[in-house]
Amino acid sequence: MCEAHAYLSRGDQEELIFENVDRVDLQNECIVLENIFGQRKMLKAKIKELALVDHKIILEEVE
Amino acid sequence: MCEAHAYLSRGDQEELIFENVDRVDLQNECIVLENIFGQRKMLKAKIKELALVDHKIILEEVE
């Protein structure tokens, strides 16, 4: 499976916030993450970087 | 491998613009796509949606 894990970038740190993400929807300043089990998490953030071979979605908070 | 293909959303259409994407970097209004071979493509767009299990990155142009 090609899901990825979502991390929130805070300075030099990356905090794992949601695993096994399949779908990501971007809506204005919000981002909706949906995992392979259909569970969702919404947060006020934007995508900073993707590294798909490493299964990483790096987000940063929107002020 | 868990790379994805990048599509540009234009109305109801999705146009394939770059294949086998590994890394995506977001820089202001530009997006840099890098494929698994290290080739890059930069365009003025933002991410609209990801569907990783389907290997899809959906972009939309920034006006």
Whose CA is closest to B33, among A50, A24, A25, A47?
Answer: A50
Backbone angles phi, psi at A30, to 5 degrees: -105, 155
pLDDT band, residue A31 (cuts 50/70/90) = very high
Task: Name, in order, each residue with C-beta under 8 angstroms of A20's C-beta and a sequence gap of 6 or more.
Answer: A1, A3, A5, A35, A36, A37
- Residue B53 has its nearest CB partner, among A22, A25, A53, at A22
Q: Give which of A26, A35, A52 to mutate to test B binding, by max B Cβ within 10 Å.
A: A52
pLDDT value of residue A19:
97
Tell me how many degrees the CA angle A5-B30-A34 measures, rounded to the nearest 5. 25
Whose CA is closest to B18, among B30, A38, B37?
Answer: B37
d(CA A56, CA A59): 10
pLDDT band, residue A2 (cuts 50/70/90) = confident
pLDDT for B46 beyond 90? yes
d(CA A47, CA A24): 10
**Cβ-Cβ contacts under 8 Å, A20 against chain B:** none
pLDDT for A4 beyond 90? yes
